[in-house]
Amino acid sequence: MPKRGYHHGNLRQALVDAALILIESKGPQGFTLTEAAKAAGVTPAAVYRHFQGREELIAEAAHQGFEIFGDLMEYAFQKGQPSALASFEATGRAYLAFAEKYPGHYQAMFESGIPIRATPELASVADRAMGVLERAARELSAHIPADKRPPAQMVAAHIWAMCHGVVELYARGSPGRRTPFPPEDLLESGIGIYLRGLGLLPPDD
């Protein structure tokens, strides 16, 4: 009988889907290309029709993840409008929601060691997601005089790092899993403290 990967219509996507399942269960460095091929129902040799190696397969999973991530970030931003603060906070919550719903993609994007600049296509979709957060930061600080306004790119990078830390330590990682506070509350309070420190929120807001 022929391998089902040859006739189910989209072997390339089947391999990505298989890789995502393996990443969820074993981590991005915990599986081989042979295992991905077996999970997709094809021979290892067939994989090379679409991917040069395991890293290229993971990079495609990361690319698809950033596309989904960018869409979620844009949706969150628009949902918060016309409030700049609501849009900004919504993008942070979207980060946590994405990590929870798409753990395979998340690990391929941020824990695989694949550089975001590995390909122009991957860089483009990653920049799009960061661009949403930068836009939210820019709108939130628009009322501050230009000479006192923090760079939107810096604010976005800080919030991105905070979101990532909450995900790694409290949303799914073991070091801080026993915290009595939900990850969403930790992120919201952290964002509030950060924004007040920059003068983007009044002390009593």
DSSP string over the chain: ---GGGTSS-HHHHHHHHHHHHHHHH-TTS--HHHHHHHHTS-HHHHTTT-SSHHHHHHHHHHHHHHHHHHHHHHHHHHHTT-HHHHHHHHHHHHHHHHHH-HHHHHHHHTS---TTSSHHHHHHHHHHHHHHHHHHHHHTTTS-GGGPPPHHHHHHHHHHHHHHHIIIIIS-STTTT-SS-HHHHHHHHHHHHHHHHTSS-TT-
Residue 180 CA neighbour count, 13 Å, CB half: 0
Among 61-70, 110-119, 145-154, top mean pLDDT goes to 61-70
Q: Where does the chain hold its CATH 1.10.357.10 domain(s)?
A: 58-198
Q: Where does the chain hold its CATH 1.10.10 domain(s)?
A: 1-51
Q: Are 29 and 85 in contact (CB under 8 A)?
A: no
Structure tokens at 177: 């899993």
Amino acid (1-letter code) at residue 118? A
- 73 pLDDT band (50/70/90 cuts)? very high
32: how many CB neighbours lie within 10 A of its CB?
A: 12
Q: Return all residues near 102 (Cβ < 8 A) that are at least 6 apart.
A: 65, 68, 69
Tell me if the domain spanning 58-198 has CATH number 3.40.50.300.
no
Segment 39-50, tens digit of pLDDT: 988 888 888 888
CA dist., res. 186 & res. 180, Å (int) = 10
Q: By percentage, how much of the chain surpasses pLDDT 90?
A: 44
Fold for 1-51, please state it. Arc Repressor Mutant, subunit A (1.10.10)
Segment 183-201, tens digit of pLDDT: 888 899 999 899 888 877 7
